[in-house]
Amino acid sequence: MHVGLYARVSTEEQAQGFSIDHQTERMQAYCVSQGWPHYDLYIDDGYTGTNMNRPHLKRLLQHIKEGRIQVVLVYKLDRLSRKQKDVLHLLEDVFDKYQTGFRSVTEPFDTSTPFGKAMIGMLAVFAQLERDTIIERTRSGKSQRTRQGLWYGGPVPFGYELSPTSKQLVQNTSQASLVREMFSQFTQGNSYLSIARWLALRSTERKFSSPKTLVYMLSNPIYVGKLKHRDELVEAQHPPIIDPETWNQAQAELNLRRSGRAKYGKYLLSNLLVCGVCGAKMKHIRMKDQRREVVRARNYYLCSTKHSRGKCGSRYYPERELEERTIEALTRLALDPALVRTELANFSAPEIPDQPLLDELTAKLLELNAKLDRWYDAFEAGHLEVSKVRERLAPLEHEKASLLIRLSELDKLRELRQRQHELTDSDLRHNLGLDLVSDGAIATAQQQRDTSLDCIPSISNVWIHLAESERAAILRAAVNKITVHADGSLEFAWNS
């Protein structure tokens, strides 16, 4: 007779010292007492008993169906499941069906008798009652801690770590700097994908492959020093990573993207163009011109309704034509130079990296280099196999590459910010192409901005020197919407 010994412990029970080793020792001793020399272990370490989505439980059930297991042994019934429905399903639809016995080390019952089956049913009821009681106490404790502004437990958010003494969240200097930069890039219009790739190159501690991960982080009030209690936000006792202004900007950008009106996009006119025929948004498309010997790709803007084969009388509008006409209109716009200066500053003024962050990253790099050296020394001494070394070195080398990227960036940022602090106001005005504008003209333009759009000079002399992100910033500071009519004429809705 072959016996399957099933052991399970959840993550919460691990913290309480509920040991897998203790369960297996007791079950093995029970097998010896019963004269069962042949048994296999099935261990689900760190899995909840509230569902049956457990890898080794599935393997055990498969072996039962194959006839390889005649008796299932557990330390206690709730190791099998904490839900009465699941226990009864296993007993009646699996164990009975495949003529498999079921025993518990600590609970004397015999499933072959009606009384034994009834006893199991009652034990299952109490197991579920215990589970429901634990859930209720956990929720109550979490709610009470949240009201007090205390961390309520669970996975620690990226950017923080749990203090072993106070059991409160404290900032992880290295991760917190990445969180700040993530919020900065997001409010500047960078896509979820580009931010995720940027983070993945600089941190190996979390996975950022899914946009849902970034959306969750960007909407998590914990980063602004608050905790969510039901439908309210309460002040937390942990230090915030993001200031309230940046947080509000990020929430506004999230709402904008959810509505389909993202502030920026991959192309200069992304999310600004509206079809003048049907009112739908327009999208950028690329088509191949195969009429010539050399196939060329041509870029257009097209009504999204027409693109999805809907009914719309609009046409294809060449990308270059629309963008040139928009830039021409922009250069005639009475654009507030102070607003231009502010928008560009948002793209070119990252915060200066502090020395503690540099020290922490440098210390991590030294520690990592020492660890790598030990592995290489062990390999050269012939103590390790090549496959083992490769398996261990790959993540370490990846982590080292991430640290080197961050340290290089921080050095460049510090140098850049030092140069920017040395610039005078006249230097800034010259860099932005505003040196021909007097302070009086700027003040006059600010007074007339709501009623006139033609009183401040052009920015055409600096446009060609701007990066795409800077052009997008200036354009969106001035333009709210561009309607493209059927005849190709453009109607601009300027920001007031």
Model confidence over 363-422: pLDDT tens digits? 887 887 888 777 777 777 777 777 776 777 777 777 777 777 777 777 766 665 565 555
* 197-224 pLDDT per residue, tens: 888 888 877 787 778 888 889 999 999 9
Q: What is the distance in angstroms between the CA of the first residue and the CA of the last residue of the chain?
A: 84
Q: Is the pLDDT of residue 454 over 50?
A: no
Q: What is the pLDDT of residue 31?
A: 94
Mean pLDDT of 423-439: 44
* 67-106 pLDDT per residue, tens: 999 999 999 888 888 887 888 888 888 988 998 988 889 8
Q: Is the pLDDT of residue 314 over 50?
A: yes
Taking the C-alpha atoms of residue 203 and residue 409, their distance in angstroms, rounded to an integer, is 14
Q: What is the pLDDT of residue 424?
A: 46
Taking the C-alpha atoms of residue 472 and residue 184, their distance in angstroms, rounded to an integer, is 16
Per cent of the chain over pLDDT 90 is 13
Q: What is the pLDDT of residue 330?
A: 73
The candidate with the shortest Cα–Cα distance to 145, out of 228, 216, 224, 221, is 228
Q: What is the pLDDT of residue 237?
A: 83
- H-helix or E-strand containing 103? strand 101-104
The pLDDT confidence band at residue 443, using thresholds 50, 70 and 90, is very low
Lowest mean pLDDT, pick from 161-165, 251-255, 407-411, 443-447: 443-447
Q: Is the pLDDT of residue 441 over 60?
A: no
The pLDDT confidence band at residue 345, using thresholds 50, 70 and 90, is low
Where residue 430 falls (left for φ over 0; alpha for ψ -120 to 50; beta otherwise) is alpha
Q: What is the pLDDT of residue 292?
A: 62
Contact call for residues 142 and 149 (beta carbons, < 8 A): no
Taking the C-alpha atoms of residue 342 and residue 157, their distance in angstroms, rounded to an integer, is 32
Contact call for residues 241 and 179 (beta carbons, < 8 A): yes
Q: Is the pLDDT of residue 17 over 60?
A: no
Non-local (6+) Cβ contacts of 477 within 8 A are 335, 339, 340, 343, 495
**Looking at per-residue confidence, does 475 or 59 come out higher?**
59
The candidate with the shortest Cα–Cα distance to 489, out of 314, 356, 348, is 314
Active site residues: 10
Taking the C-alpha atoms of residue 344 and residue 349, their distance in angstroms, rounded to an integer, is 8
Provide the 8-state DSSP code for 222.
G
Mean pLDDT of 343-351: 48
The pLDDT confidence band at residue 460, using thresholds 50, 70 and 90, is low
**Looking at per-residue confidence, does 246 or 377 come out higher?**
246
pTM over 0.85: no
Contact call for residues 299 and 317 (beta carbons, < 8 A): no
Non-local (6+) Cβ contacts of 185 within 8 A are 194, 195, 198
Rounded to the nearest integer, the mean pLDDT of the chain is 75
CA angle 188–190–194, rounded 5-degree value: 150
The pLDDT confidence band at residue 135, using thresholds 50, 70 and 90, is low
Structure tokens at 247: 């947080």
Structure tokens at 137: 């106490």
